[in-house]
Structure 1
Amino acid sequence: MHRRRSVVTVSSAAAVLLAAPLLTGCGGDTYPGSAAVVDGDAISLTQLQDRVVATRDAQREAQNGEQLISQTGRLPRTTLDGMIRHRIVERALADADASVSRREVQEQRDAYEQQTGGPKAFEDALLEQQGVAPSAAEDWVWLNVAVQKVADAWGVDPKTPKGNKTLNTRFAELSGEMDIVVNPRYGTWDTERSTLAPADTPWLKDVGAQQEIQQQG
Structure 2
Amino acid sequence: MSGPRRIAYGEHRSQFVEWTPVREARGVVVVIHGGFWRAAYDLALGRPLAEDLAARGWSVLNVEYRRVGDGGGMPQTFDDVAAAIDLLAGIDGVAGLPVVALGHSAGGHLAAWAAARGAHGWPQRVALTAVVAQAGVLDLRAAERDRLSTDAVGALLGDRPIDALVDPTQQLPLSIPVWCLHARDDVDVPFAQSQQYVTRAQAAGARAELVEVKGGHFDLIAPGTQAWAAVLDAVTAARG
Greater helix proportion: 1
TM (normalized to structure 1)?
A: 0.28
Q: Which has the larger radius of gyration?
A: 1
Greater strand proportion: 2
TM (normalized to structure 2)?
A: 0.26
